[in-house]
Amino acid sequence: MEISLSTKNKLGFLNGDIEEPSSSKDLDTHATWHYCNDMILSWLLHSLEPDLVESVIFSTTAKAVWDDFRKQFSQSNDPRIIQLNRELATISSGTSSLSAYFTRLKGL
């Protein structure tokens, strides 16, 4: 999603670089900001699984959705990290081809 928004010059809506302008100062800029924000919200919501949409459907900004998912999904899972480190330390190619071994290694 970040790559897609970056190519459209819209990444600032997610990271906070493009903030909502005051409607009292410049009505046209404010309307344009809302148009872009709503478009990005639509992209985000349509790219999510339905059960995830329910948790952010009432968010009004793309940044709020992005921040919510960053907080929700960036939590560390220490037991899983330990398990993956063990698997990486003990992985061997065995009778697998080099490409199969590399694919398995990259998957871990």
The string of pLDDT tens digits covering residues 70-84 is 888 877 788 888 888
pLDDT-based confidence at residue 1 (cuts at 50, 70, 90): confident
Can you give the pLDDT at residue 91?
A: 85
Cα–chain center distance at 58: 18
pLDDT-based confidence at residue 100 (cuts at 50, 70, 90): confident
Can you give the pLDDT at residue 17?
A: 94
Rounded CA separation 49/56 (Å): 11
- Provide the greatest CA pair distance for the chain: 70
Can you give the pLDDT at residue 23?
A: 81
This prediction has a pTM of 0.66
The string of pLDDT tens digits covering residues 39-61 is 999 999 999 998 888 889 899 99
The string of pLDDT tens digits covering residues 18-41 is 999 988 888 889 999 999 999 999
Can you give the pLDDT at residue 16?
A: 92
